[in-house]
Amino acid sequence: MVVLMMDEPVVTIISGSKSDSEIVEKVVGVLKEFDVPHTAVVLSAHRNAKELDDYLAKTPAKVIIAIAGLAAALPGVCASKTKKVVIGVPVDSKLGGMDALLSIVQMPSGVPVATVGIDNGKNAAHLAIRILALNQDNLGEKLRKKLKS
């Protein structure tokens, strides 16, 4: 597990594989731009199921960004184990990423996963910021200034 820490995380980025690091870096770049405390870990829903469960139970983050390709179970597993907001980022690893996109977006009722475009980690970070800005005035102000420029 790789952890990048910045204060107490408000956003946790979970990737299913180290090969997703390019997308993780895009998410981190946007979060840093807005000074959003975050952490990033590599935990597979399949290979690290127990560690993922433990991590989800103790993370103080308000929003989870889950990045996954192929079967893309990670975002759905996260959503099934927590009441926190989960944003799924499908990865283009096979079939143009459509397999991952459909796996993430077609969650059953009661297990919602917000889903962004294939490989679009930046939009996942922007969505997390908009969600957090609903309750954080300083972040809302940063967002307003950014939108005006």
Query: Sign (positive/negative) of CA torsion 57, 6, 100, 108?
Result: positive
| pLDDT recorded at residue 7 | 63
Q: What is the CATH number of the domain that holds 49?
A: 3.40.50.1970
% of the chain at pLDDT higher than 90: 80
Domain count, the chain: 1
pLDDT tens, residue by residue, 92-144: 988 899 999 999 999 999 999 999 999 999 999 999 999 999 998 889 899 88
Identify the domain containing residue 115 by its residue range: 4-148
Q: What is the pTM of this model?
A: 0.93
Rounded CA-CA distance 37/6 in Å is 5
Cβ neighbours for 138, distance < 8 A, ≥ 6 positions apart: none
